[in-house]
Chains A and B, each alone.
Chain A
Amino acid sequence: MKPELIIERLTCQIDGTVILRDLDLTVRGGEVHAIMGPNGTGKSTLAAALMGNPRYTVTAGSVTLDGADLLVRTVDERARAGLFLAMQYPSEVSGVTNADFLRTAINARRPEDQPLGLFPFRRRLKEAVAALEMNENLPDRYLNEGFSGGERKRNEILQMLLLEPRIAILDEIDSGLDIDALRVVGANLTRMVAERGEEMGLLLITHYRRLLDHIRPDFVHVLMDGRIVRSGDMELADRLERDGYDWLREELGLRHLSDSHCEADT
């Protein structure tokens, strides 16, 4: 079944500060959406709220995945329902090898009596590690411990390849990647989108157009002031790259962040 993530009038806050206001967005299988926007406008908050990060509180609105209410579900239930978030700052887990973690995560999505065998798992892992041009010793390293910024981001993509989500959200996956790494990640994302077709929808959160050179979005949205203020296609991304956000602020009558309370990148 083609997945469908529907966000309606989502309002979300952290520590009493409202970050998202009445945000609407729909992502369907086979679609690639890109969300762009200045710092501190709520891009990462959207990703965290969808995944169920306990630091964020949804105060209004609804989110459904395939018609089922996502907001009443726990973080792990959302993940098992097919949502995946490639995080901006993945946690380190000492003593847990990448391989053990990934196998546990894959088996958490399968019926208890049908776990993925060790050899099929190792084969899939080896293929994915090779495709991402990662170090061969990565499966036996502790999860994200001692990883460079680029290795962490590739590791997030590795997890996505193996977990095969229905809706994947990539939060600034391009930050910390050098040119070659960006090319490899982009190629893998493009291949995954092509191979899975309508089985997966993709939501890219990014500051820069360069990622979109590698994986072309069907829709480009601008998030400002906690809501999506403009949607378009690659031409919109081109203009943002060329002209920045000031023209849009003027058109919409929004204040510049430096004129108001300036938040950290939320």
Chain B
Amino acid sequence: MILIDETRRTLGLAVWPAVALSGKERSWLEPLDPPAAPVSRPQLCGAAAPDPAELSRFRALETEAKHRAPARPLPCCGRVRATRLRLAAEAGRRFLPVFISGERGDGTLLYLDVAPGASAHVVLLTLASEAPIYIDVTVGENAHLQLDIIKCPGHDSWQLLSWRATVERFASLVHNSVDLDSSAYQVGQVILAGEGAELTSRAAALIQSFEEQRLDVTVTHGAAHSRSLVENHGVVQERGHGFFAVRGRMPQAAVAGDCRQESRFLMLSPQAEAHSYPVLEIDQYDVAAGHAASVGGIEPETLYYLQSRGLGEQDAQRLVTTGFLSPAIHAIGAGSEGGALIADCLFAGLAERI
């Protein structure tokens, strides 16, 4: 808990309450410093331990099959502790940091229920934890959830995370994922279940030498007029390895749907490796869909332009790299006052690493 409190102070989140979860415990954390106004407490309670059928609803990393390597599902052989967090509709937008830590083998499952009409910004920060994490999100009708999943800089460890979200009628989910230093396997499934449901998902992955980050997102448009945008950006250094797979599924129910995706890698070394798999499965005529993918280095013309304004080559590269990863971090900052503080720390962390 001391570690979490230190992190809360480092991130500037001392005036907000928080939730701490691990395979062994769950805690509601009161603000470390008195907040300016009283903060209501959402419902946090235990849930029945999931059985294998429940856990099988979470996707394993199918993407590895493309390399004919054995599929490597999230390890879920150990104990998994389940927690349910209910966010009710209330005046204004709730900001809630959730810290997840734990030891290998002890998994964490979080059910995150956002009530109809509610608006919340939940930032999930994973610390030094190699335990599998499962997140099951339901965004009720007309509700809005910004769910940011951040591998806390400075806590080196694998992040093994599978999340699934159901977005109901006219509800929206904004998801941002940032990992600046550790390897990660992260798979997400989003079902846009209700008419007009929306998803915006962004990722910023700084992949350092001998690290590997694999992000896999599947969006299913299960209702009419649903919209999705997935933007993944990765910077790969030295012998790092990046992997983005995005699937947009538009069955017949996806009438007048709009499904977009973009996966881009910026390679900073000839030894760096990256793979991008954009997939669209369309079974309905009346839809708009598009995908873009790129893997490449920094444009020499861009460097020349920046240098022509007085920036040294390294500063110019740093600026381009930071800019490349910034959409997801800017989006975290735009989510709430607390998000802005976290974004500042992420930009500072980025500056230290590139």
Contacts and interface: CB of A to CB of B under 8 A. Distances in A.
A91 B309 CA distance: 12
A54 B304 CA distance: 8
B308 interface: yes
Given A101-B319, A104-B319, A142-B323, A93 B311 contact: no
Contact of B312 (A76, A93, A163): A76
Contacts of A92: 302
Interface in A84-112: 84-85, 87, 90-96, 100-101, 104-105, 108-109
Nearest to A87: B305
A53 interface: yes
A94 B304 contact: no
Interface in B308-340: 308-313, 315-316, 319-320, 322-327, 330
Contact of B311 (A54, A90, A104): A104
Contacts of B299: 91
B323 to A, nearest CB: 3
B307 interface: yes
B327 A95 contact: yes
Given A54-B304, A90-B305, A76 B323 contact: no
B302 A91 contact: yes
A111 to B, nearest CB: 13
A76 B324 contact: no
Given A95-B322, A95-B325, A95-B326, A108 B304 contact: no
Nearest to B204: A95
Most buried by B among A54, A94, A100: A94
A75 interface: yes
B307 A76 contact: yes
Contact of A54 (B300, B316, B322, B327): B300
A74 interface: yes
Contacts of B319: 93, 96, 100-101, 104
A74 B322 contact: no
Given A87-B305, A90-B305, A91-B301, A79 B310 contact: yes
Nearest to B327: A95
A108 B305 contact: no
A27 B306 CA distance: 24
B346 to A, nearest CB: 13
A91 B305 contact: yes
A96 B323 contact: yes
A44 interface: no
Give the interface residue-count category, chain B. Answer: 20 to 34
Secondary structure at the B interface, as helix, strand, loop or mixed, is helix
B305 A76 contact: no
Most buried by A among B300, B310, B320: B310
Nearest to B328: A95
Secondary structure at the A interface, as helix, strand, loop or mixed, is mixed
Contacts of B305: 87, 90-91, 93
Most buried by A among B300, B306, B309, B320: B309
A9 interface: no
Nearest to A83: B308
Contacts of A93: 302, 305-306, 319-320, 323
Interface string B203-244: 000000000000000000000000000000000000000000
Contacts of B308: 51-52, 75-76, 78-79, 84-85, 87
Contacts of A80: 310
A76 B313 contact: yes
A94 B322 CA distance: 10
A93 B309 CA distance: 13
B326 A163 contact: no
Interface in A40-77: 51-54, 74-76
B311 A105 contact: yes
B309 A79 contact: yes
Most buried by A among B313, B323, B324, B330: B323
A206 interface: no
Given A53-B304, A54-B304, A105 B326 contact: no
A76 B310 contact: yes
B310 A109 contact: yes
A215 to B, nearest CB: 22
A192 to B, nearest CB: 17
Contacts of B324: 94-95
B309 A105 contact: yes
Given A95-B325, A95-B326, A96-B319, A105 B310 contact: yes
Given A74-B307, A75-B308, A96 B313 contact: no
A104 B306 CA distance: 10
Most buried by B among A79, A87, A90, A91: A91
A159 interface: yes
20 contacts: A54-B300, A74-B307, A76-B308, A76-B310, A87-B308, A91-B304, A92-B302, A93-B302, A93-B305, A93-B323, A95-B323, A96-B319, A96-B320, A96-B323, A105-B309, A105-B310, A105-B311, A108-B310, A143-B323, A163-B309
Interface of A: 51-54, 74-76, 78-80, 84-85, 87, 90-96, 100-101, 104-105, 108-109, 142-143, 159, 163
Given A95-B330, A105-B310, 5 more contacts: A75-B307, A79-B309, A101-B306, A108-B309, A163-B309
Interface of B: 299-302, 304-313, 315-316, 319-320, 322-327, 330
